[in-house]
Amino acid sequence: MRVKRYVVDSMPDALQKIRTDLGKDAVILNTKEIRSGGFLGLFGKKKIEVIAATDAGQAQPAPPAMSPAAFKTPPAAGAQLAKLIEEASAAAAKKSAAVPSAPTALMEEPVIPPVARPSPVREVREGREIREVRERGKEDLLLDEIKSMKEMMSRLTASAAERPRYPERLLKFERLLLEHEVSPDLVEKLLGKAAEEFEGEFSPKTDEYAYELIKQQLKQILYTPYNKGIASDTRIAHFVGPTGVGKTTTIAKLAAEQVLKEKRKVGFITSDTYRIAAVEQLKTYANILNVPLEVVFSPQELARAFQSLQDCDIIFMDTAGRNFRNQMYVSELNALLQSKGKSETFLVLSLSSKYKDMKAITDNFAKFRLDKVLFTKMDETNSYGSIVNLLYDFPLQLSYITNGQNVPDDIVETNEDRLIDLLLEDRE
């Protein structure tokens, strides 16, 4: 019996060494986990100790077969050869009866009594134990990695909790923008850029400077370099948007401005034949302003309407309010947006609507042509963050904001500075 001890990192390494040193008939006698290295028994690396053994007689290869001619001896040496064979047989029998001496490997390792060759059932059990040891090793490594990751996350969380993300003088503006329902991602971007400048070497680090930094960031989103109102050379002004946002009332306000202030000749076209009394409402405004009105039921009737209003300086076209989150309705409306000269298309949205709905409507209209955006019902909400969100997400130009139902009052061109003051005003 030959016994040998191995200290390895994993069971596959042990199996390879055992097969190389002791042969494929070797048997594993014992396995256990130990720690190697470290300091005073601490911080040692996990190892696996494996004890294996093999039958020394089976491990040695059989001598090569000899031909009968090799046993032929001269007649004179026959008696002497027979005597030598008899003496060798007696010595072999005496040696087999004696206790075998320990192998070289046993001089270095503890002597373990010989064991009988395991049965097939025991070999299956030992194979299962090897697999279990291997799986336990993998689980231990995985648990160690998870533990270290948790500790790292705890340290990072504690560090983030101790240190505010932005300078203290900017934190108030983060709260105000979120109260106005400005997108959290956009707030983070605005505050991040402002914080970089606020913490600069030459920054005065005052409340006034923090306010100006945030204001400049918002102005870059809201600023309109071109004319916000209806251009002087615009021939047709289209107004589109969902139902209930106040398109017809807004058209009446703008038409009165053109008639009374700009002294331009105005005409109305309406295709809003879906809503009850929609035509009557616009006809009432047309009678008050003494301007002509044409009603169209299809794109084919637009040519007739334009011919009737050819003497007008500007034509206001009122479209039907529909569920414009449905792209089919948007496609139908696009067929009505024909032009006889320079035109502008105004998207009309209510500030009392959720920004998610605004975004869906604008996304469908943006596939065609939009020039400016007009916000209504400012007097019905205290949240103006949707204006910032929309101008950041879409390449639109600010135009008007309405803040009541009075005609021709309660409509103004958007003032970016005033709007930013409202966004950053501490209402508490």
Q: Where are the domains of the chain?
A: 1-56+97-163, 168-222, 236-423
At residue 349, the pLDDT reads 93
At residue 265, the pLDDT reads 93
Taking CA atoms, 415 is separated from 183, 223, 230, 399, in Å, by 21, 9, 16, 9
At residue 391, the pLDDT reads 93
pLDDT single digits (tens) 380-428: 998 999 999 999 999 889 999 999 888 888 899 999 999 999 999 876 6
At residue 133, the pLDDT reads 66
Number of C-alpha atoms within 13 angstroms, CB side, residue 414?
28
Measured over all CA atoms, what is the biggest interatomic distance in the chain, rounded to whole angstroms?
Answer: 154
Tell me which fold the domain 236-423 belongs to: Rossmann fold (3.40.50)
Say if CB 180 and CB 421 are below 8 A apart. Answer: no
Number of C-alpha atoms within 13 angstroms, CB side, residue 190?
30
d(CA 74, CA 206): 121
At residue 227, the pLDDT reads 82
At residue 103, the pLDDT reads 42
Can you list the residues of the chain whose pLDDT is less than 70? Answer: 38-43, 56-129, 131-134, 136, 158-164, 166, 273-278, 321-340, 427-428
At residue 307, the pLDDT reads 87
